[in-house]
Structure 1
Amino acid sequence: MRKALTVVAVVLVLLLIGGSAIQWLRTAENSPLGAAPGQDTERTPGDEPLPQEPDWCPAVEVISAPGTWESSATDDPFNPQANPLSFMLSITQPLQAAYDINDVRVWTLPYTAQFQSVQSRGEMTYDDSRNEGTAKVNGELAHIANTCHSTEFILAGFSQGAVILGDVANEIGTGHGAVPADRVRGVALIADGRRENGVGQNPGVELGGIGAEIALQPIDALVQFITPGASMRGPREGGFGALDGVVQEICAPSDAICDAPQDIGNGLGRAQELLAANGVHAQYASNGQVIPGTTANQWVVDWAHGLINQG
């Protein structure tokens, strides 16, 4: 009986991970997308001077990563149209309105953004979708870093996009990324499925849970049986390394994606709690209980303004 209850719990959590984003209702120059990660831009004495930057090089590039079903592989990274209700548009559109693209380039990750589950067998698997997204982000980072030697970066992502950018921040912060850590001004991860308490900074209320990918890792074999291609990878080895002080982990209390109970796979009671909390994941633009006095998207917009205007 206990095994059966565990299966029910896992199925419900997987549906949460792959399905919550579709409930979202928000209130409110060219690059080689598949390029390989770039080389370190530091130079040793005696090297030839760096080539002059193109006129279009911005001071800052903001890289935005939407969540599941909020993007497509063919979307326009400067004018995303795949999902007009994408949560990340409530952050990127105000930034695009505030700055000229030659000063602040806002680039939205175009990736498949799918999650194959018991309800969507024809979609790309979670592993393949996030691997595609990670490769494209690293390609964009490398392209801009190698072309525009003074450009610095701000990263912001939601849900599956937060997992992708959290993984990219982990690579950069531990010295294995597409750009050096000192070229990243800040990272905002909203509803990160690999969130850990004490890793990165929490600008919101105190949380007791952990990311669903960490909570489910001990029963990953069962997850794979139910939903092949959705690996629960646990915590990020090395955390955010040198970037720990500039990574903001934003999570709503009881959002089962980022604030899951640590014994998530142990029974029907936990499954019922997670199902009841399903709607929380879709309310970051209106939920005033995440960061007191504001909403998550407005906080990120203000935070980004501050990083951009610091010079």
Structure 2
Amino acid sequence: MRRVLTLLAVLVLVAAIGVGALNHFAQRPGPGPGPDPRPAPGNPPGCVAAEVLAAPGTWESRADDDPLAPSANPNSLLLTITGPLREAYPAERVGVWTLPYPAQFRNINALQEMTYDDSQAAGRARLEEELRATHEACPATDFILVGFSQGAVIAGDVAAAIGAGAGPVPAERVAGVALIADGRRDPAQSATVSVPVAGVGLELALAPLNAAVQPIVPGATMRGPRPGGFGELTDRVAQICAPADVVCDAPPAIGDALARARDYAGGNAVHAAYATNPEVFPDATTPEWVIGWARGLIDAALAR
């Protein structure tokens, strides 16, 4: 039993692990949902037409990082997306903001770190604060959310609250949400725009084992699917998951703990390779696809 619980603890770690890429990529258009067609109130001078908010993965951010010039982890995956977007548009028209949050995950090898639950809570609060403050100052600004790994869980949770009418901004102001390796991915709640995968997010797969996980990794709650899904934002949420990445493509059945550990061991490298993995999309890397998707939404906002 001790061996099984230890293996479960190892599996939980992957729900938060996010590693970066080293190269920037060319922009390539990708399909994606469009912004809400209803007219928006005018913005006062000094407001951007669209703001991209990026939520990095574990160990790819820190609470005191600069959201306009992030430097916590130069290999962060999302820098391969936000960098090209920042270069493509004038800053006075399009904002690019990266979530500064602890991005930590306490485990047996890092007992000094904040728990996964607390790190996520801090990230959600900071993301909601930025959305709320920007919307109050600039009511016609459209928002585009992008998250990876732990950051995808955070961005997805905030999007779910917005879609339910309980978030910091109205749903019509969110043009789109891209979640890369979301640990709460539920194929019944939003479309997976990358190649088809048969699994679910690890937090769904391990939710029935949460009581066994807590003594090993306290503060890493496997919460299961998001209650109510994404509501009004459902058609604007794009889930991206690499085949065999157990963070978002875990076997739906609980199964044998040892088999799940083997799945993790084989999937960790996949989780680390979204910047270059050619098997996530048939004709683009993940950064290329997200850049093209985001540019379509930004261009629509600029054209209004």
TM-score under structure 2 length normalisation: 0.90
Cα contact 1:57–1:151 (8 A) shared by 2: yes
Structure 1 residue 117: Cα displacement: 0.9
Q: Whose relative contact order is higher, 1 or 2, with alpha carbons under 8 Å and at least 6 apart?
A: 2
Given the alignment, which residue of 160, 163, 166 partners 2:156?
A: 166
Structure 1 residue 203 and structure 2 residue 193: aligned? yes
> What does the per-residue CA deviation read over 1:34-63, in whole Å, with 9 as the maximum and x for residues that have no partner?
xxxxxxxxxxxxxxxx8x854220000111
State the match for 2:288 in structure 1.
298
Gaps of 5+ in 1: 29-49
State how far apart, in whole Å, the 1-side matches of 2:97 and 2:260 are: 38
> What does the per-residue CA deviation read over 1:203-246, in whole Å, with 9 as the maximum and x for residues that have no partner?
11111111011111101111111011111110000100110001
State the match for 1:142 in structure 2.
132
Cα contact 2:8–2:257 (8 A) shared by 1: no
What is the letter of the counterpart of residue 15 of structure 1?
Answer: L
What is the letter of the counterpart of residue 123 of structure 2?
Answer: G
Structure 1 residue 250: Cα displacement: 0.3
Structure 1 residue 269: Cα displacement: 2.0
State the match for 2:229 in structure 1.
239
State how far apart, in whole Å, the 1-side matches of 2:21 and 2:82 are: 16
> What does the per-residue CA deviation read over 1:151-176, in whole Å, with 9 as the maximum and x for residues that have no partner?
11100010000000000010000111
State the match for 1:34 in structure 2.
none
Structure 1 residue 277: Cα displacement: 1.4
State how far apart, in whole Å, the 1-side matches of 2:254 and 2:5 are: 11
> Superposition pairs for residues 175-186 of structure 1, below 5 Å?
175-186=165-176
State how far apart, in whole Å, the 1-side matches of 2:79 and 2:238 are: 19
Given the alignment, which residue of 21, 27, 31 partners 2:23?
A: 27
Structure 1 residue 4: Cα displacement: 4.3
Structure 1 residue 199: Cα displacement: 1.7
Given the alignment, which residue of 10, 13, 16 partners 1:12?
A: 10
Given the alignment, which residue of 107, 116, 131 partners 1:126?
A: 116
Structure 1 residue 276: Cα displacement: 1.5
What is the letter of the counterpart of residue 17 of structure 1?
Answer: A
Structure 1 residue 283: Cα displacement: 0.4
Cα contact 1:186–1:246 (8 A) shared by 2: yes
What is the letter of the counterpart of residue 27 of structure 1?
Answer: N
State the match for 1:117 in structure 2.
107
State how far apart, in whole Å, the 2-side matches of 1:189 and 1:249 are: 5
State how far apart, in whole Å, the 1-side matches of 2:44 and 2:79 are: 28
Cα distance 1:6–1:265, how it changes in 2: closer, same or farther (>3 A)? farther
Given the alignment, which residue of 45, 50, 60 partners 1:55?
A: 45
Q: Percent identity?
A: 50
State how far apart, in whole Å, the 2-side matches of 1:264 and 1:4 are: 18
Cα contact 1:66–1:160 (8 A) shared by 2: yes
Cα contact 1:141–1:178 (8 A) shared by 2: yes
Q: Which has the larger radius of gyration?
A: 1
Gaps of 5+ in 2: 25-40
State how far apart, in whole Å, the 1-side matches of 2:2 and 2:257 are: 8
Q: How large is the Cα RMSD of the aligned pairs?
A: 1.5
What is the letter of the counterpart of residue 115 of structure 1?
Answer: F
TM-score under structure 1 length normalisation: 0.88
State how far apart, in whole Å, the 1-side matches of 2:43 and 2:238 are: 31
What is the letter of the counterpart of residue 189 of structure 1?
Answer: L
SS in 1 for 2:215: helix
SS in 2 for 1:248: strand
Structure 1 residue 79 and structure 2 residue 50: aligned? no
Instruction: State the number of aligned residues.
Output: 285
Cα contact 1:192–1:258 (8 A) shared by 2: yes
State how far apart, in whole Å, the 2-side matches of 1:101 and 1:219 are: 47
State how far apart, in whole Å, the 2-side matches of 1:262 and 1:7 are: 19
